[in-house]
């Protein structure tokens, strides 16, 4: 019989592995056939759940940018972990960005040969056959049963969360195929005691690290569980050899990725990227009942369970952790009846990662099933940056897929002992695959990606400039990053992983920009603290020139309130003139003739112009918060001494003009509550820097006058 031969010689012909590979390729094509037909210009979108998931499939655009950025930065000899192309002009750290370096590198040649969308889709879709083949090999190592291993590979390749992460555009989480490869190499390392397997394990660990730091954490936890199991089960006689192999795995994995890990550690310790609050981590934790609830994207009966997902908070891709009733039954059979000792490790993996997927406790003072992870969360700061602990269910599924293959082997052995023919064993295996297919088969949809002709205008412009895209939402910021892959111009907008920020601070400190990017938020503060007769509309070209903003793009349909869109359109029309491009979806405004110094000085003939520089916060009830080195830009038509009146929370506040080494400190007027400064200014643009003893100061009044008038 085939099963007996396999168990006796332990061989796996390459021809059989090739057939298994072709099987998983064929199944991937079958499941995602709508996308196969439109690989170059369309992306997967949730084809299920109605409005429940409609606007939440946006991260894919961010990852397309990530892949593009890797190539762009390398070709331009830029720092991979810092970019000036978003949040202009400050830029942004990418040390904790989910760039997914490995997949970006794999996508690069296909991007050059085709489109960014094609290469992204190829990475997403290839994760399914890769996961199937590597899980098959791991199951083969455990069972030496071809049919049981195929089923184990099938389970791990197409479990619902894998499909959901692919549909929602998360290649860093969809690329789960390296986990089986890593744990197979890890088992071989300690079972055979060979250093070469330790090196292979370390290389694969490095690959997991370069995909996503959370995958490194999952691999590390799984490794610790295995090492404990191996010590208990095998009682190795040479403890030094055991420790040296473990050290070699870690040394290779960490050594290869040390520059990246060092930067990520520095970003976490310095707080340059604020970790998500624990409320978000709790919201994105696994809900135990969902392990038993079919996902709403099931092709056969998903609609029947869609109501079970109504009202949930957190990321929708993380809700779909259904393990499958057939898989759970087979895994239970494998865990109970199999004589394979390594089943205890698999059971431990399932239990540990199930508990960890529940996230930290909302009330850490009480003992609960979440207490262990809560303890780790409270003492290991890097865990704070992993917003979704529900993703630990990936390791739950790895353990279940292997246990299910053990269960299938037990059932096939029973069939063999009853002297069923080999074809009967295959029928039994096909029945299991059919049952799993019924529970796992997803319904998918695709959506074409259409770029506005406005970007063609921008792409043809060879000037150096920045772009502001409105409305300033997360969705629009991620779409803007995708469009940047065509024009490579700096964006005022931006979006980094796990951060809700989409604009730099100056967009909220300049009255004109503030009225564009957040028109409803600041309705109660129509006037600013600067006492001058010029309107925001008149100063708008100066402000835009100050920050090199040449184009402003309005995405008409993305404005939730038509009144907000009309108000924004009107302000831009009055400040910049008619749009240079307009259709039903997009409006493009251009700062045509740059504001020259003579035109600024003509405006400043009656009184100086004051524009906020760096370091100013948005207005509040007391005025404006400013850092100790905040700047004001003052434009004057004539050189001379100017009187500056300022009301601030720091009576000792001083001013430095044009980087002069001599600060000018004010004379406080008790009657008005303002300080008077006499500062020499030159013709044109002057930079006034604040000098204060504290980190921040609140300014409530500023007036600049030519003392000769």
For residue range 281-303, what is the model confidence (pLDDT) as tens digits?
999 999 999 999 998 888 888 88
The answer to whether residue 525 scores a pLDDT higher than 70 is no
- CA torsion sign for 466, 480, 212, 199 is negative
**Tokens, residue 333:** 């059979």
What's the rounded Cα separation, in Å, for the pair 220 and 204? 12
User: Picking from 89-93, 202-206, 521-525, 575-579, which range would have the lowest pLDDT averaged per residue?
Assistant: 521-525
Q: What's the Cα-to-Cα distance from 646 to each of 272, 607, 632, rounded to whole Å?
A: 32, 16, 12
Q: Which percentage of the chain shows pLDDT scores above 90?
A: 69
Predicted local distance difference test score (pLDDT) of residue 551: 97
Nearest CA to 167 among 357, 390, 316? 316
Nearest CA to 624 among 674, 688, 699? 699
Helix, strand, coil content of the chain in percent (nearest 5): 55, 15, 30
What's the rounded Cα separation, in Å, for the pair 157 and 127? 8
Predicted local distance difference test score (pLDDT) of residue 237: 79
- Is the pTM above the cut of 0.75? yes
Residues 499 and 274 sit within 8 Å (Cβ to Cβ): yes
Vertex 187, ends 326 and 354: CA angle to 5°?
40
Predicted local distance difference test score (pLDDT) of residue 262: 93
Residue written as token pair 């049919």: 147
Predicted local distance difference test score (pLDDT) of residue 4: 46
For residue range 626-663, what is the model confidence (pLDDT) as tens digits?
998 899 999 999 999 999 999 999 988 999 999 887 89
Confidence of residue 1 (pLDDT cuts 50, 70, 90): very low
Residues 201 and 186 sit within 8 Å (Cβ to Cβ): yes
What's the rounded Cα separation, in Å, for the pair 23 and 394? 22
Residues 581 and 603 sit within 8 Å (Cβ to Cβ): no
3-state secondary structure of 140: helix
Residues 6+ positions from 125 with CB-CB distance below 8 Å: 28, 32, 35, 36, 166
**8-state DSSP, 442:** B
CA dihedral 89, 94, 97, 103 (to 10 degrees): 110
* Preceding amide of 168 cis, omega within 30: no
In the chain the domains, ranked by start, together with CATH numbers, are 2-446 (no CATH), 454-599 (no CATH), 601-706 (2.60.120)
Residues 6+ positions from 188 with CB-CB distance below 8 Å: 141, 194, 197
With both helix axes pointing from N to C terminus, report the angle between 160-167 and 116-143 in degrees, rounded to the nearest 10: 170
The rounded mean pLDDT for the chain is 90
- Give the full edge-to-edge strand order of the sheet including 664-665: 609-612, 631-636, 684-691, 654-657, 664-665
Residue written as token pair 């082997």: 409
Residue written as token pair 């564009």: 516
Beta strands in 13-114 (DSSP E): 42-46, 82-83, 92-93
Which burial class, exposed, middle or buried, applies to 410 when counting CB atoms under 10 A from its CB (0-12, 13-18, 19+)? buried
What's the rounded Cα separation, in Å, for the pair 632 and 614? 8
Helices and strands counted in the chain (H then E):
27, 19
For residue range 420-461, what is the model confidence (pLDDT) as tens digits?
555 777 888 889 999 999 999 888 889 999 999 999 999 999
For residue range 314-372, what is the model confidence (pLDDT) as tens digits?
888 888 999 999 999 999 999 999 999 999 999 999 999 999 999 999 887 788 899 99
**Tokens, residue 137:** 């090999």
Beta strands in 281-395 (DSSP E): none
Residues 331 and 403 sit within 8 Å (Cβ to Cβ): yes
The answer to whether residue 52 scores a pLDDT higher than 70 is no
490-504 burial code (b ≥16 CB/10 A, e <16)? bbbbbbbbbbeebbb
């Amino acid at each position: 019989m085939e099963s007996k031969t396999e168990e006796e010689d332990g061989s796996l012909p390459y021809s059989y592995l090739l057939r298994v590979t072709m099987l998983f390729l064929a199944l991937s094509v079958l499941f995602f056939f709508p996308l196969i037909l439109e690989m170059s210009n369309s992306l997967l979108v949730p084809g299920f759940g109605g409005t429940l998931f409609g606007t939440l499939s946006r991260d894919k655009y961010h990852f397309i940018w990530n892949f593009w950025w890797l190539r762009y930065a390398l070709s331009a000899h830029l720092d991979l972990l810092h970019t000036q192309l978003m949040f202009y002009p400050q830029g942004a750290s990418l040390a904790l960005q989910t760039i997914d370096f490995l997949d970006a590198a794999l996508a690069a040649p296909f991007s050059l040969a085709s489109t960014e969308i094609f290469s992204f889709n190829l990475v997403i879709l290839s994760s399914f056959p890769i996961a199937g083949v590597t899980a098959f090999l791991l199951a083969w190592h455990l069972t030496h049963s071809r049919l049981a291993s195929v089923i184990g590979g099938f389970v791990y390749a197409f479990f619902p969360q894998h499909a959901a992460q692919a549909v929602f555009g998360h290649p860093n989480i969809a690329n789960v195929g390296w986990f089986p490869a890593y744990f197979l190499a890890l088992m071989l390392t300690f079972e055979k005691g060979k250093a070469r397997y330790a090196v292979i394990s370390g290389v694969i660990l490095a690959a997991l690290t370069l995909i996503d730091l959370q995958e490194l954490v999952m691999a590390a936890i799984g490794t610790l569980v295995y090492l404990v199991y191996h010590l208990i089960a095998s009682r190795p006689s040479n403890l030094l050899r055991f420790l040296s192999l473990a050290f070699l795995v870690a040394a290779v994995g960490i050594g290869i990725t040390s520059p990246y890990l060092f930067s990520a550690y520095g970003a976490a310790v310095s707080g340059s990227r604020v970790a998500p609050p624990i409320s978000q981590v709790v919201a994105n934790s696994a809900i135990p009942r969902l392990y038993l609830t079919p996902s709403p994207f099931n092709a056969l009966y998903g609609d029947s369970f869609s109501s079970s997902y109504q009202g949930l908070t957190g990321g929708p891709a993380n809700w779909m952790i259904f393990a499958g009733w057939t898989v759970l039954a087979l895994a239970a059979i494998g865990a109970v009846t199999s004589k394979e000792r390594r089943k205890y490790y698999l059971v431990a993996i399932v239990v540990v990662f199930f508990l960890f997927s529940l996230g930290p406790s909302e009330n850490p003072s009480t003992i609960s099933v979440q207490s262990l992870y809560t303890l780790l969360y409270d003492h290991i700061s890097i865990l704070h940056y992993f917003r979704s602990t529900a993703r630990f269910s990936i390791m739950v599924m790895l353990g279940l897929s292997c246990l299910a293959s053990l269960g299938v082997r037990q059932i096939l052995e029973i069939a063999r002992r009853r002297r069923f023919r080999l074809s009967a064993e295959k029928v039994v295996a096909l029945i299991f695959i059919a049952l799993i297919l019924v529970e796992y088969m997803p319904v998918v949809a695709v959506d074409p990606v259409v770029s506005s002709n406005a970007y063609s205008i921008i792409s043809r412009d060879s000037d150096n400039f920045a772009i502001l895209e409105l409305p300033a939402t997360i969705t629009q910021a991620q779409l803007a990053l995708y469009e940047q892959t065509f024009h490579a111009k700096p964006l005022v907008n931006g979006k980094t992983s796990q951060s809700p920020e989409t604009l730099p601070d100056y967009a909220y400190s300049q009255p004109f920009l503030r009225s564009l990017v957040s028109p409803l938020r600041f309705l109660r503060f129509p006037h600013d603290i600067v006492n001058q007769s010029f309107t925001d509309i008149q100063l708008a070209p100066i402000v835009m020139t100050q920050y090199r903003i040449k184009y402003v793009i309005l995405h008409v349909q993305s404005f939730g309130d038509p009144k907000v869109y009309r108000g924004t359109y009107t302000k831009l029309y009055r400040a910049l003139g008619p749009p240079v491009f307009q259709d039903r979806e997009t409006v493009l405004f251009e700062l045509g003739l740059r504001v020259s110094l003579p035109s600024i000085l003509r405006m400043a003939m009656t009184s100086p112009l004051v524009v906020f520089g760096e370091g100013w916060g948005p207005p509040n009830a007391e005025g404006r918060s400013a850092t100790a080195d905040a700047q004001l830009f003052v434009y004057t038509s004539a050189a001379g001494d100017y009187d500056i009146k300022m009301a601030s929370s720091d009576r000792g506040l001083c001013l430095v003009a044009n980087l002069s080494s001599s600060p000018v400190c004010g004379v406080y007027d008790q009657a008005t509550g303002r300080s008077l400064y006499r500062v020499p200014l030159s013709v044109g643009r002057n930079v006034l820097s604040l000098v204060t003893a504290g980190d921040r100061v609140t300014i409530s009044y500023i007036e600049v006058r030519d003392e000769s008038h």
